[in-house]
Amino acid sequence: MKKLILSFLILIAIAGCTSEQKEGTARNENVLPDASGEYGEVVILINKDKWDADLGMALKEVFHANVPGLTRAEPFFTTRVIEPFQFNRIFKLSKNIVYVTSFEGNQPSDKWLQNTFSEESKQMVFNDPDQFMRTQENQYARGQKVLHLFGKDDASLMKNLATNKEIIRNYFNIAEKERLAKDIRTSTAGRKIAQRLKEKFGFDMKIPAGYELAILKDDFTWVRFLPSIGASKNLFVYFKPYESQDEFSHKNIIKLRNEIGKNYIFGDPSNPESFMTTEEKYVPIAQRDINFSGMYTVETKGAWKTNNFSVGGTFVSYTFVDEGTNRLYYIEGFIIHPNEEHRELIREMESILTTFKPGKNQSQASLF
């Protein structure tokens, strides 16, 4: 937990910095175009020779590492690697941009990247090897996140990349979740469902357009999006009186999840053996402690299946206690989309769950 808090504080600190670009000028962000590109895509500016060498391997360990808990191997981000001379208007409008600058190198690409630093900034890089990262927003487009990774030489930068993978990923993960949450579209039907849940349970959550109410019980609700073609998206909320800290053990969270699935979620309502359970044999469960709207929370990601193996998919969940009501909440988003990629679908589930507020005095949740 201490490591989580420290990482969060570091992320907040670096988020307040701006790149000291040599040619930087003040911009009127109101006249900038909107950032574009696919969700989960990062454009990386680097000397291609360095990308193909050890520095590139270190960057791939950051951006191309597999997302834990998915049923198939998928990287945290999709990258588009270019050299500065390829950095045209289309790339400049990308949602996520990374400049990778090593002051070891004399090729034109190296010089271009090095010249984005003022002399004062260059001295800072050489004098303080712990400085390796600066952030910037809206450099060329609204809603754009820019990350500068730098070092006096390849080895120094690689060392910092190896020890700060999670911070770098979080910078873009948080940005993607915020974009997705902002883009959630509601409808009259969705708002009616949300109002009904608030009246019955007291909590708030955005219900996107197209979702329908599947089950409404005294301690459980399930809403879902069932298109004729494409991914089935599902959200459910379960709560119970909080009893002890033991309920946060990773083993007990999975036990609770399986109990919820057995009682409420069936692939075929007429077949009691089609209930949902957690798949632990082939896909390792990924769990970590996070901050959810100021509350200690356990995030869980993994695979699920029905007990009769008729269907399955991936899920993400958050377990926490609302002290105002003494409720232990278990909230989850799960996907059905066989043989397809789930990374962005799970990220979408995370973004919707971010809108969950257990009480009227709670501020909007944030996931880190």
Please say if the pLDDT value at position 199 is more than 70: yes
| Tens-place pLDDT, residues 154-170 | 999 999 999 999 999 99
Taking each helix axis as running N to C, give the angle between helix 165-182 and helix 154-163, from 0 to 180 degrees, rounded to the nearest 10.
Answer: 60
Pair of tokens at residue 57: 């391997």
Give 153's pLDDT tier (boundaries 50, 70, 90).
very high
Stretch 15-26: mean pLDDT:
42
Please say if the pLDDT value at position 366 is more than 70: no
Annotation: CATH topology of 188-354: Protein Transport Mog1p; Chain A (3.40.1000)
Q: What is the pTM of this model?
A: 0.86
Burial class of residue 92 in the structure, from the number of CB atoms within 10 Å of its CB (0-12 exposed, 13-18 middle, 19+ buried): middle
Please say if the pLDDT value at position 359 is more than 90: no
| Tens-place pLDDT, residues 62-101 | 999 999 999 999 999 999 999 999 999 999 999 999 999 9
Longest dimension (CA), the chain: 72
pLDDT of residue 360: 56
DSSP state of 275: B
Taking each helix axis as running N to C, give the angle between helix 54-63 and helix 165-182, from 0 to 180 degrees, rounded to the nearest 10.
Answer: 40
Please say if the pLDDT value at position 216 is more than 80: yes
Find all residues with CB under 8 Å of 85, minimum gap 6, and list them.
Answer: 108, 109, 112
| Tens-place pLDDT, residues 218-272 | 999 999 999 999 999 999 999 999 999 999 999 999 999 999 999 999 988 888 8
Query: Please, are residues 294 and 248 in contact by the beta-carbon 8 Å criterion?
Result: no
Outline which parts of the chain fall under CATH 3.40.1000.10.
188-354
